[in-house]
Structure 1
Amino acid sequence: MAVDTGHGTGTGTSIPDLEGVPLLGSLPDLKADSLGTYLRANRRHGDVVRVLAGPPGLRAELYCVFSAEGAQRVLAGEAANFRKDNTFYQEVRTSFGNGLLTSQDEDYLRQRRLVQPLFTRRRVDGYAAAVAGETDAVLASWARARDGIVDVSSEMMHLALRAVARILFGTDVETTVDVVDRCFPVITEYVLRRGYSPANIPRGWPTPGNRRAAAAMDELYAVCDAIITGRRDASHGEGLGEDLLTLLAAAQSADDAAFDATELRDQVLIFLLAGHETTATSLGFALHLLGRHPEEQARAREEVSRVLGDRTPEAADLDRLPYLTRVLKEAMRLYPAAPVIGRRAVAATEIGGYTIPAGADVILSPWVTHRHPAYWSEPDRFDPSRFTPEAEAARPRYAWFPFGGGPRACIGQHFSMLESVIALAMILRAYEFEAVDTEVPVSAGITLRTEGPSRCRIRRVDR
């Protein structure tokens, strides 16, 4: 069904600007609340809005595209014209490596060809037992929760990191998790500060911030390199493991040589970054939303109990838990792990009746599109029924795009759904949730992040 949003219908007028303050434009608003600023831009000016940020001479021009049709054009229909060439991606690339998330052109195509066979549905389904094992460990730890309260955001971050580290590294989990827990926040803050700054000093200058980030990157790189060296040494013997790193080290094709050590590390770092924060966001907010909506929580638990009984969930159960899947999709609508997506236009392109100029920094925002009243009635309301097959078929494809889309859609989306459904099923079978913090402030980092606790009171389910 085509939806006419009623904005920018080929009038030939200039793109509307979001109001800002003298000299700095919208920079203070973006720093204080970028997601709220983009939402306000859409509500006031429609589906294509220019946002100016920064002082004259260092001013950024952001061309924001908020419609589902515009998102499809940028990510799929004309994907080759919208590249990951902006400052933010360059900072991520420099800190976390030139892996699938950040690479381009032939580098990206080669990496995708080598990695794709490791993310087939059959291969990913084999990771269900690892996810279930890590979920069991988290559930056991909750028996010691002080006052019966847990911060579901923090707990799901811990679970998702351990699960992806187990799948990546097999037995080399503990050291990796400790280093990632310590180093990732330092590097992430550094990337964000540089990625959104109108001007940066060179990374090599010995400032305190540069030195802290360099030390964190050195430590993170060192632990990954040591594990990679061990895998490569083991690959010359017998009994290769089935962890993802071993498979990545062995990956090659008729057209592509295997990854070298640096390329392997780049893939590992990107998988660690994208593979745990995104899933953790979906799980944490799904639990918090259910903690605020007891009727939906009871319905999801009833489905889990009816389908699973007391047995451990398996990959085949994903299709047997449709309501639980709708809960997760609705959580990803309200709290998309990638709330803002940036691209740079190669050539001038018409979107929504307006011309996006060549060289423009283009902003897509699932945060805004997922709340667009043209596609979602009462968009701030939690309602899993939005994701029945009939409701999904009635909406434009890119009204909901938490995994991106087009040729660069997230390669791990099936893994994310597998992990999320299995973990959420096991958690709901074991515990009831009541939200303590009714509102959780968020901000846009590399992924969506909470700016406060998301605590729930938990109680064991009698079975």
Structure 2
Amino acid sequence: MTHLIERTTRAARQRLSSVLLAPAPQPVDDALRRFSRRWPATDLAAPPSGSDLRPIRGDYGTPLVGHVLDYIRFGTDFARERYDRYGPVTWMGAFGTRIATVAGPEATQLVLTNKDKAFSQAGWTFLIDQFFHRGLMLLDFDEHKMHRRIMQHAFTRDRLAGYTQQVGPCVRATVPTWSTTHPVRLYWLLKDLTLDIATRVFMGGRGDGVDSERINHAFVATVRAASSLVRYPLPGTRYRAGLRGRRVLERYFAHHLPAARAGNGEDLFSALCQATTPEGEQFSDDDVINHMIFLMMAAHDTSTITTTAAAYYLATHPHWQDRARQESLALGDDLPDIDALERLDTLDLVIKEALRLLAPVPLVMRKTVTDTEILGHYLPADTLVAVAPAINHFVPECWTDPDTFDPDRFAAHRREDQNHRFAWIPFGGGVHKCIGMHFGTLEVKAILHEMLRTHHWSVPDGYRVRWDNTSLPIPTDGLPVHLTRR
């Protein structure tokens, strides 16, 4: 059966790829109605008798596969269509099971603040534990609190300032070398650069050169494996490739760990090895390896996606590119430190708007540990829950013309993101809010700042990016841009 599923889904992905790369023959809304409204709505579970709770309505989708391929094709547009049709709490089929989906600021706040501790990180465990075992995002309750308290010592402002000083030379040595003679695939250039930064800042330069391509492939394999339809390591499957990638990463970090333990480096790897709370709590070797695999993936991939999205919107809105460039040029030729990067206000607005329009992590997974309710809907124990923060970024109750690129919506005189605490949450929310969000923003600003200093860039006339949602969103064609040297 699993061979049949893999052959079927591989063929479906190939057909889907041709559709993704071809010009859209009709508005996406028409395709969404055709693809996602063909299944009859049913209840997730019957509410307890006399509870006055309502059932969660939804549909499974295609047998076995569920709505996975629909999401891969349409991404957040698919999730928005279901939000409009079913409301903030619904369910769908995926990966052979039923998944409750939660969206909108109010419902999201209930899950992510988790005041009753009804939701655990076991939702992530279902998808990615084999590949990112015991990463910070997968830990729960008191254990998570303890690990985060130790890790926070690696993300103090002094540490961030040191990391930023290491980012600048790497960026300046790379961005000016990009070709201006023909269009480049910007996503892949940025992905190589962010891996170089991660190797420099996170690893202190350990493993430079020969290891980079192998480690990059390993990270790609582990991330893509999370959405594998076949959840068993059969030959030729993404799941098996992800497990092999995990083993490569474990060996890589284990090899370099003794030096990080013995030294007094300024890199993140050393910081995790040395981090100690006032109570004397420290990470074991296994803890350090697990956290490094997860943190390098998170920083490497999400920074690449965010920089790519921001660069795309700057290409399609050249007046914003010019405005941001004037601020970057005003800093002069010195490598920017943390204070200088924080003064780039226009880039702040652009990056926030890019994160709104394309959340690098569009879904956040949880699992119920007890029967609970959300906005009057009954949600039984042991149910996978997908929180969709990307939908919150488009609700008209919070955002003016939400499909329009408008960075000024984050300016002090508007601050639409303050219409609700959970209106804009690209870094998650609650106790699991991204611990590296400040460093990630500084890294993205450092790269865009150097691009603005050295180049103008544009996309082909009429070009509109399409995002591949197989795992985290990436441009299907690598984002072709033409760079012109200043």
Name the CA shift for 1:124/1:176 in 2 (closer, same or farther; >3 Å): farther
In structure 2, what residue type is equivalent to 1:364?
Answer: V
Partner residue, 2:14: none
Cα deviation code 1:115-167 (max 9, x no counterpart):
1011012221221121111111222321x4442x2222112212222112211
Of 40-49 and 388-397, deviating more is 388-397
Name the CA shift for 1:450/1:11 in 2 (closer, same or farther; >3 Å): farther
**Does residue 452 of the first structure (1) align with residue 481 of the second (2)?**
no
1 CA distance for matches of 2:210 and 2:147? 27
What does residue range 208-219 of structure 1 map to in structure 2 within 5 Å? 208-209=236-237, 212-219=241-248
For residue 117 of structure 2, give the secondary structure of its aligned residue in structure 1.
Answer: helix
Partner residue, 1:183: 218
Contact 1:340 1:444 in 2 (8 A): no
Aligned with 1:109 (options 142, 145, 164): 145
Partner residue, 1:420: 444
Give the TM-score taking structure 2 as reference length: 0.82
Cα deviation code 1:18-54 (max 9, x no counterpart):
5845786545534544533212101222222222347
The alpha-carbon deviation at position 223 of structure 1 amounts to 1.7
1 CA distance for matches of 2:317 and 2:119? 40
How many pairs does the alignment contain?
Answer: 432
Aligned with 1:228 (options 245, 252, 257): 257
Aligned with 1:141 (options 174, 177, 188): 177
Partner residue, 1:365: 388
What does residue range 69-80 of structure 1 map to in structure 2 within 5 Å? 69-78=106-115, 80=117
1 CA distance for matches of 2:256 and 2:475? 31
Contact 1:130 1:166 in 2 (8 A): yes
The alpha-carbon deviation at position 260 of structure 1 amounts to 2.2
Cα deviation code 1:212-245 (max 9, x no counterpart):
444433332222111112323x34xxxx222221
Which sections of structure 1, spanning at least 5 residues, go unmatched? Answer: 1-9
RMSD: 2.5
1 CA distance for matches of 2:463 and 2:176? 25
**Does residue 383 of the first structure (1) align with residue 412 of the second (2)?**
no
Partner residue, 2:80: 39
In structure 2, what residue type is equivalent to 1:191?
Answer: A
For residue 438 of structure 1, give the secondary structure of its aligned residue in structure 2.
Answer: coil
Contact 1:341 1:363 in 2 (8 A): yes
Partner residue, 2:29: none
Of 26-35 and 320-329, deviating more is 26-35
The alpha-carbon deviation at position 262 of structure 1 amounts to 1.6
Partner residue, 1:50: 91
Identity of aligned residues (%): 27
Name the CA shift for 1:84/1:241 in 2 (closer, same or farther; >3 Å): same
Give the TM-score taking structure 1 as reference length: 0.86
Contact 1:110 1:256 in 2 (8 A): no
Partner residue, 1:246: 270
For residue 456 of structure 1, give the secondary structure of its aligned residue in structure 2.
Answer: strand
Name the CA shift for 1:256/1:71 in 2 (closer, same or farther; >3 Å): farther
Contact 1:339 1:444 in 2 (8 A): no
In structure 1, what residue type is equivalent to 2:378?
Answer: T
2 CA distance for matches of 1:422 and 1:26? 38
**Does residue 438 of the first structure (1) align with residue 472 of the second (2)?**
no
**Does residue 351 of the first structure (1) align with residue 374 of the second (2)?**
yes
Aligned with 1:315 (options 338, 357, 366): 338
2 CA distance for matches of 1:112 and 1:22? 40
Cα deviation code 1:45-79 (max 9, x no counterpart):
2222222347xxx4x22222211111111112537
Q: Please list every run of at least 4 consecutive aligned residues from structure 1 whose deviation after the TM superposition is greater than 6 angstroms.
A: none
The alpha-carbon deviation at position 191 of structure 1 amounts to 2.9
The alpha-carbon deviation at position 456 of structure 1 amounts to 1.0
Contact 1:165 1:176 in 2 (8 A): no
Name the CA shift for 1:146/1:184 in 2 (closer, same or farther; >3 Å): farther
For residue 419 of structure 2, give the secondary structure of its aligned residue in structure 1.
Answer: coil
The alpha-carbon deviation at position 407 of structure 1 amounts to 0.7
What does residue range 70-219 of structure 1 map to in structure 2 within 5 Å? 70-78=107-115, 80-86=117-123, 88-142=124-178, 144-147=179-182, 149-172=183-206, 173-193=208-228, 196-197=229-230, 200-201=231-232, 203=233, 207-209=235-237, 212-219=241-248
Of 129-138 and 399-408, deviating more is 129-138
The alpha-carbon deviation at position 110 of structure 1 amounts to 2.4
